[in-house]
A and B are shown apart, each in its own frame.
Chain A
Amino acid sequence: ETGVTQSPTHLIKTRGQQVTLRCSSQSGHNTVSWYQQALGQGPQFIFQYYREEENGRGNFPPRFSGLQFPNYSSELNVNALELDDSALYLCASSSEGHEQFFGPGTRLTVL
């Protein structure tokens, strides 16, 4: 059984640029959630996708957007990057239950 994978591992961007992060969910899981984790903090919920539809959103501006594909993989897009967007971005997958399993994360640095 393959766990949750994310790409890329690390990314460096400059302020104002756009970025796309990718996530492949664990086999058998149809739900993907994205979280932002700043240094020394717990993860903060960005949004969740279930069967290709957004299924809940946290307190993040519209420049954070996402997609889920028919194979349940997902993308997180961030436009107009700001310095405060520097963080570890985590993807978690789940099935019909509430247990969420996380990937290794993508570390984004905005200069």
Chain B
Amino acid sequence: QKEVEQDPGPLSVPEGAIVSLNCTYSNSAFQYFMWYRQYSRKGPELLMYTYSSGNKEDGRFTAQVDKSSKYISLFIRDSQPSDSATYLCAMNSARQLTFGSGTQLTVLP
């Protein structure tokens, strides 16, 4: 069993839709949770960084962490075609990041 599980998709939604991306994890030592966005053939770009359980909002993005269920989510409101990318969840306990396999998202105009 992988330490971090992420639905690979692909996920296709119409412009303006609310997108929900999810990851589950098994390692209770994970304390820090991140979401990265990766465009094709580019490096990952840090979108959200959270530590505690609860919600964190930044513009159209909301990151949610539920440590008791070992479940994290990223919500994208009013999705745009420019949001089309692969979204990677990541988490760490020490310095190294453990990533999910990524969810490929396409937002159709």
Task: List chain A positions with a Cβ less than 8 A from chain B.
Answer: 4, 6, 31, 33, 35, 40-45, 48, 50, 55-56, 58, 88, 90, 92, 94, 98-105, 107
Contact B98 A101 (CB under 8 A): no
Total A-B contacts with CB atoms under 8 angstroms apart: 62
Say whether, besides A41-B102, A42-B100, A104 and B42 are in contact (CB < 8 Å).
yes
Say whether, besides A41-B101, A42-B88, A42-B100, A98 and B42 are in contact (CB < 8 Å).
no
Inter-chain CA distance A55–B94, complex, in Å, is 10
Task: List chain B positions with a Cβ less than 8 A from chain A.
Answer: 4, 6, 8, 32, 34, 36, 41-46, 49, 88, 90, 92, 94-102
Give the residues in chain B near A6, CB-CB below 8 Å. Answer: 43
Give the residues in chain A near B43, CB-CB below 8 Å. Answer: 4, 6, 90, 102-105
Contact A43 B101 (CB under 8 A): no
